[in-house]
Structure 1
Amino acid sequence: MKAARFHAKGDVRVEDIDLPAELAPDEVLVRNQFCGICGTDLHEFVAGPIFISPQPNSFSGASVPQILGHEFSGTIEKVGGDVSHLKPGDHVSIQPHMGPLDGYFGVRGLHFLGTRGAATGLTWPWGGFAEYAVMKAYATVKMPANLSFRQGAMVEPAAVAITAIDRSGLEPGASVLITGGGPIGALTVMAAHAAGAAKIFVSEPNASRRKRIEGIGIPVTTIDPTAVDLVAFVRQETFEGLGCDAAVECAGNPRAITDCLAAVRPRGTVVLVGLTNNKVEISPFDLIVRDIRLQGSLCYPTTLWPRIFAMIESGRLPVDALIDEVISLDDLVGKGFEPLLDPSGAKMKILVDLNA
């Protein structure tokens, strides 16, 4: 079968590899349909290995070369002997995090926080940028009949956004600032709207991305932070000039983190989603006297998929609006990674059709 494998920084190859010989009792074989390109895939390509490791993963045994891709949907081809909730032919969306089910975080559906675990497309031997993938059955979720495979490939990034809004404590009628207008930022706009936000501000320097977000069909105020004093603007547009109720930082930008902290009202919440290793100056005094909550948000509980399904079905989460293009696996780097890495580009989400 064909698979796109990471070998080293800047070295991702589409190769022919063997199909799995057999399944463990708790595993399933998925024929992959669509897989989305994530910022994590791009970071590994540009600067990896980051999460990918040259050493075998303690839970899964995976190491370089690593099949990429963790935002995907497919069809069950075969099930292991202990699997009863799935059968061949079922349409599924992949929840990529796995680990011991009896661990402290495993029983809470938070495998990504455990001391042992693996993530599909990074530290698990299989991934979405391949014709087939072997998955743990508990990480393979049957989709409702009327959800498309394209929508199924958008569930994982949508879960990141929904969790960020959940952690912000956003209430109906509240205001929120979202910094970063990429795919996660755009999905966070949808999540905030679904949660009942009355005012949604989006800070994004790329004019094409601001236009894309304005075209989703959700009331939103976009701001170019290079041309406007972002904090002053948000305060001017909120009750008594206090600032917004919550902010979600999706860019991994130190300046944006500072802006989020300054733009929220006293007792507001700032949620950090965008990854960065850069240092950020934070005043503990300011956080204390304004009673600010600073919250990290990396992934999501494994139980979230049915809720995302329902939000897509209801139209509250119009994920299709973000899909720009569908490409073949052979074009992953040239027509997928490279356009998405263009800082002036307008692309939001590119899916790979594994049957193209």
Structure 2
Amino acid sequence: MTTTRWAIFGPGDIGGWFARALPGSAHGTLHAVGSTNPGRAAAFAAVHGAPVTGTYEELLARDDIDAVYISTVHTTHADLAVAALTAGKAVLCEKPVAPSTEDVERVLRRAASAGLPFVEAYKHRFGPFARALDAAVAAREVGAPLRLSASFGFAAAERSGRLFDPALAGGAILDVGGYPVSLAVGLAAAAGIDPADLAITAVAGHIGDTGVDEHATAMVTGEGFTAEVECSIVAELPRSATLTGGRGSIELPDAFGSRNASAASFVVRADGRDRVVEVPTVDPFAAEADAVSLALREDRTEAPEVPWVQSRNIARLLEQWRAGLND
């Protein structure tokens, strides 16, 4: 397998995590850094050893870049992804793909017509932990119907910047609400439930004086599946989850892992017995990069970790959640 030459679009904090992870990937290397600020791109490239820098347009015109990792603000993801796909580059895009389902569909149509991989970077869906969890659900180890409880939240140090800017699609739902929602969508799919049949109900939360959702809760409901989801950018919330079925439960003390290591274990409690499932950890950013590399080499447009049916339905549910909070 040849090496995938990556460009990072958005030399910020998250881009730095991706850059540091790439040397540990099986198939990728950092080749270029793009930004609207040439000085910022050059400084980032110097730290992480990328030989090429430039504007987004300059890098997309090059033929020595195979894939682009997009880690800019939410509102720029869709346009950059479409431009990269049009230029013949595979795309790994930070979550969410876009604030609107309309823009998500625009990206997926472009990927389909270009015949190139597009992958949404929900890091907890990559690696052995997610595969083992999906397998336990698919095997009906805790029975049915299923009920999930999951949350993700933190207290921002300052109520400023992109997180609290409505013009940049700030707010808890798009920044961290996607974690429990994507977990719900992935587990529902593993149980054989069509993600398109899921809907958001019972929305509640708080919109701050900055105009963004700061804390929110909702129910994700479907036939044989219910999820209680919660997110916040003003309060620390557990990053654990529990999936309960008719025969027992799956306890996920660390449902989402960290930025440099996937989660390592979960407990299946069924029929009066506990089974501890332990799996190797991986660097989630490296795993995301390799998923794109494999799709590129195998001439696939999707990665099984986050297939397009899940991306489009995660986007739809997040849009419903935001709309319900604003009604």
Normalised by the shorter chain, which TM-score bucket? 0.3 to 0.5
TM-score after normalising by structure 1:
0.35
TM-score after normalising by structure 2:
0.37
Structure with the higher helix share, 1 or 2: 2
Which is greater in Rg?
A: 1
Q: Which has the higher contact order (CA 8 A, sep 6+)?
A: 2
